Amino acid sequence: VDSRYVGDAEPGVATGTAAIIVDSAGENCIVVCPGANMKMVPEDVDAAAELMQKTKVVVMQNEIPLPVTQRALEVAKKAGACTIWNIAPCPAEAKDYPPEMFQLTDVLCVNESEAQSMGGVDGLLAKGVGVCLITLGKDGCKVVTKDGQQHLPGVVVPAGKVVDTTGAGDAFTGAFALFKGKGLGDAAAAEAACKIAALTVQKKGTQSSYPTHAEAVEAGAWPSGA
C-alpha cells in the first residue's frame, strides 16, 4: 500500500472509527465516527493527482466531504481512469448532488433503496451515469445501462455459514474495481465480485474476512482472464 499521501489531521482530531454490532444471523449495525476523514479538502486530491493520472480505476465513496469526492472524480476522469462512485452512506440530500458528479461517474454502485432515494435508476442514467451497479445482497446484483439491464444471481451461502456480513459491500466494490482494472467487462467483473463478497460473509471481521488471491482461486471465485 502506497502511503505517501496519508497525512495527519490537526491536533485533537481522532482517526475515523466504526463500532460494529453483529447479531446471531450475521447481520450488522454500524455506528461511524468519521473523525479525520471529514477534515480532508480538495487540495489533498490535487497533491495526489500525479499518482491518479497513472491508474486505471479510481473508487470514490461517501465517508469524506463531498467537494473532495467531486475533485477526485474530476481528476480521475481527466486522467482517463474508470471512475467508480459507491454512494455509501447515502444521505437524503444525495438526490440533490451536483449533476456534474454523476456525469463524471462511469459506474455508480448503490443498493436498491439508495437508487430509489435518488430518483430511481432511470433518473440516475439520465443524469449521465454510465453504468448503475445495483447491489441486491444475497440475490446478487444488477448491471443497468441505457441499453438494458442484466441480473447476476448471488452465490448461495447456507444460513449456517453466514458469520458476519460486515464489509461484504466494500469487498464487492473493491473486487469489481480490481477486475475492471484487469480488463474484464462490467458484467464479468460484477459476477466475480459477487463470488468474492460471498466468501467474506463466512468469516468474522471486515478486512480480516477478505480472501487472498490463493483463497479466491481455490474457492473458484477468481475469474479466468483476470
pLDDT per residue as tens digits for the range 144-192? 999 999 999 999 998 889 999 888 999 999 999 999 999 999 999 999 9
Residue with cell 441480473: 151
- pTM for the full model? 0.92
Can you list the positions of beta strands (E) in the chain?
A: 17-22, 28-33, 57-61, 82-86, 107-111, 131-135, 141-145, 148-152
Which residues in 116-153 are b (16+ Cβ under 10 Å) and which e? Answer: ebbeebeebbebebbbbbbbeebebbbbbeeeeeeebe
Q: Is the dihedral of CA 2, 5, 11, 17 positive or negative?
A: negative
Residue 176 φ then ψ, to 5°: -60, -45
186 is a catalytic site residue: no
Q: Return mean pLDDT, the chain.
A: 93
The single-letter code of the amino acid at 103 is: Q
- What was the pLDDT predicted at 215? 95
Could you write out the DSSP letters of every residue in 98-162?
Answer: -HHHHHT-SEEEEEHHHHHHTTHHHHHHHTT-SEEEEE-GGG-EEEEETTEEEEEPPPP--GGG-
Residue with cell 460486515: 166
Residue tagged active-site, from 106, 164, 170, 186: 170
- What was the pLDDT predicted at 32? 84
Cell of 197: 463478497
Contact 164, 203 (CB under 8 A): yes
pLDDT, tens digit, for every residue of 61-109? Answer: 999 999 999 999 999 999 999 999 999 888 889 999 999 999 999 999 9
Q: What percent of the chain has pLDDT over 90?
A: 73
Look at residues 188, 190, 219, 189 and name the one whose alpha carbon lies nearest to residue 202. Answer: 219
Beta-bridge partners for 135 = 111, 141
